[in-house]
């Protein structure tokens, strides 16, 4: 059959390319292909401009429970092992000091308690007093009246250029594949139809066929599922995240803040930007947006198609907005986008990290920050916060990947490889995948190259 593949992946972000890599490297499939709508891989959320560039391993993210931290630690280590094994240390994955700060009596005791529990999972974690912080990151203590403590680490890989890693997945997939591994760019999949025991894809390059399809199309995944009659119990709520830039001299570490339990999205943090030389980033904000791509205007209609507003969606919104803290948070995040007033308002938030920060230190980062496709579970009338998968068991899978989807790309892909191997009956060398990716906890590789640009500016 012309234009036929065993497996076709839709979407060339980090999720789609991670799956392409694992299929090429660990299965005996004869032909696989990936279709990406834009002329380049990782044009949307996986692009380093559009996410926080953080390897979320669960040590400093106070929005994770201990159980969730255990899970993300495992998948984060897979990405780390992949990157170190392929020689990407200090090229696409970087070491920075990282920490979460507790400010004021309540947060300080929270951090101290959390430290005692979490160091059992992350033995490298340290507790930093105000005196320690004055040496490590002086701007955290300068001008601060409230007490402060932090837990974190000084020498761990924690910043990733996810877009660059996605490129390496694609290249390494092509190198590893014994059969056919094709990547089609500028190739939006308009339709997926089941024809007999195959799927037919309609694209600008013609019709293509496959036995198995994985849809890794970010915010568009659920829409594709709805079009095929799947996932009707879910709705997609896209949450945009914006950032503010400050000079790199302000912060040399990843600094997270304590999560307010009631808020559905992670608190803002400060991070050295690994792509913009000489910049620190603060953010991301969290703004519900009626579109499926942050900077593409013609996705409004698609948003409504994938939200499918009904009583249960309205109930989720109502419950969220009934809470004073969440209402204030939603309103504040809307204001962070309004030119003229946004800088002053965001400054108040960022001052929790750097008390002496001035309005003149920060600037809105234009066209930086993507969308997190958060999923509403209509049956249970609640907002899901992590990744979600619709496994139809009929040869097609849809993945929705809000944060920490980039960190867990190899773990998520491994689940799909297992589903594909079971469905198609192909060979899957899971032992090798486990040795390579899960391996020991973390592989050590000597660091020979200097840190990226921001450190030069800092000194």
Ligand X SMILES: Cc1cc2nc3c(=O)[nH]c(=O)nc-3n(C[C@H](O)[C@H](O)[C@H](O)COP(=O)(O)OP(=O)(O)OC[C@H]3O[C@@H](n4cnc5c(N)ncnc54)[C@H](O)[C@@H]3O)c2cc1C
Enumerate binding residues for ligand X (CB under 6 A): 10-16, 35-38, 43-46, 50-54, 56, 162, 188-189, 216-218, 220, 241, 284, 369-372, 401-407
CB 363 to ligand X: min, Å: 17
CB 159 to ligand X: min, Å: 9
Contact by Cβ (8 Å): 60, 256 = yes
Q: How far apart are CA 154 and CA 136, in angstroms?
A: 9
CB 268 to ligand X: min, Å: 11
In the 8-state DSSP scheme, what is residue 243? -
CB of 20 or CB of 89, closer to ligand X: 20
CB 367 to ligand X: min, Å: 12
CB 269 to ligand X: min, Å: 9
CB of 127 or CB of 384, closer to ligand X: 384
CB of 6 or CB of 374, closer to ligand X: 374
Q: How far apart are CA 206 and CA 201, in angstroms?
A: 8
CB of 115 or CB of 265, closer to ligand X: 265
3-state secondary structure of 20: helix
DSSP 333-352: HHHTTSTTTHHHHHHHHHTT
CB of 248 or CB of 406, closer to ligand X: 406
In the 8-state DSSP scheme, what is residue 89? B
Q: How far apart are CA 443 and CA 431, in angstroms?
A: 18
Retrieve residue 126's tokens.
């340290």
CB of 38 or CB of 110, closer to ligand X: 38
CB 143 to ligand X: min, Å: 28
CB of 141 or CB of 203, closer to ligand X: 203
CB of 202 or CB of 312, closer to ligand X: 202
Retrieve residue 115's tokens.
């430290």
CB of 252 or CB of 404, closer to ligand X: 404
Q: How far apart are CA 140 and CA 255, in angstroms?
A: 9
Q: How far apart are CA 19 and CA 64, in angstroms?
A: 25
Place of tokens 């297992």: 418
CB 56 to ligand X: min, Å: 5
3-state secondary structure of 380: coil
If 0-12 CB within 10 Å is exposed, 13-18 middle and 19+ buried, where does residue 225 land?
buried
Contact by Cβ (8 Å): 75, 433 = no
Q: How far apart are CA 271 and CA 243, in angstroms?
A: 10
Q: How far apart are CA 135 and CA 192, in angstroms?
A: 57
CB 397 to ligand X: min, Å: 12
If 0-12 CB within 10 Å is exposed, 13-18 middle and 19+ buried, where does residue 269 land?
buried
Contact by Cβ (8 Å): 15, 413 = yes
CB 391 to ligand X: min, Å: 16
């Amino acid at each position: 059959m012309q234009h036929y593949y065993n497996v076709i992946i839709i979407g060339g972000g980090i999720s789609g390319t991670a799956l392409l890599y694992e299929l090429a490297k660990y299965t005996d499939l004869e032909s696989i292909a990936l279709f990406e709508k834009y002329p380049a891989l990782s044009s949307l959320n996986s692009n380093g401009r559009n996410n926080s560039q953080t390897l979320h391993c669960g040590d400093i993210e106070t929005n994770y429970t201990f159980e969730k931290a255990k899970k993300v630690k495992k998948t984060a280590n897979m990405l780390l092992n992949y990157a170190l094994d392929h020689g990407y240390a200090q090229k696409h994955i970087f070491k920075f000091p990282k920490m979460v700060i507790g400010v004021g009596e309540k947060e300080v005791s929270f951090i101290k308690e959390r430290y005692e529990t979490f160091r059992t999972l992350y033995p490298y974690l340290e507790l930093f007093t105000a005196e320690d912080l004055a040496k490590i990151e002086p701007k955290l203590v300068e001008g601060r009246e409230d007490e402060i403590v932090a837990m974190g680490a000084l020498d761990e890989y924690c910043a990733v250029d996810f877009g660059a890693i996605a490129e390496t997945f694609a290249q390494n997939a092509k190198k590893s594949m014994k059969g056919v591994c094709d990547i089609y760019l500028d190739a939006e999949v308009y339709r997926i139809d089941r024809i007999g025991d195959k799927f037919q894809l309609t694209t600008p390059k013609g019709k293509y066929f496959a036995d198995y399809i994985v849809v890794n199309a970010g915010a568009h995944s659920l829409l594709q599922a709805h079009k095929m009659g799947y996932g009707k119990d879910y709705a997609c709520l896209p949450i945009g995240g914006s950032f503010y830039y400050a000079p790199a001299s302000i912060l040399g570490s990843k600094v997270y803040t304590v999560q307010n339990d009631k808020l559905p999205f992670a608190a803002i943090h400060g991070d050295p930007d690994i792509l913009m030389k000489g910049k620190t980033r603060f953010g991301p904000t969290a703004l519900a947006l009626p579109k499926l791509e942050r900077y593409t205007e013609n996705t409004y209609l698609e948003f409504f198609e994938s939200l499918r507003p009904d009583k249960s969606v309205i109930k989720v919104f109502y419950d969220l907005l009934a809470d004073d803290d969440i209402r204030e948070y939603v309103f504040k995040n809307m204001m962070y986008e309004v030119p003229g007033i946004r800088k002053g308002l965001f400054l108040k938030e960022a001052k929790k990290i750097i008390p002496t920060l001035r309005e003149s230190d920060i600037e809105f980062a234009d066209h930086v920050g993507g969308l997190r496709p958060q999923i509403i579970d209509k049956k249970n009338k609640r907002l899901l916060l992590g990744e979600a998968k619709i496994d139809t068991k009929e040869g097609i899978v849809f993945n929705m990947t809000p944060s920490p989807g980039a960190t867990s790309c190899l773990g998520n892909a491994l689940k799909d490889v297992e589903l594909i191997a079971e469905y198609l009956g192909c060979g899957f060398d899971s032992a090798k995948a486990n040795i390579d990716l899960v391996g020991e906890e973390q592989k050590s590789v000597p660091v020979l190259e200097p840190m990226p640009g921001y450190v030069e500016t800092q000194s």
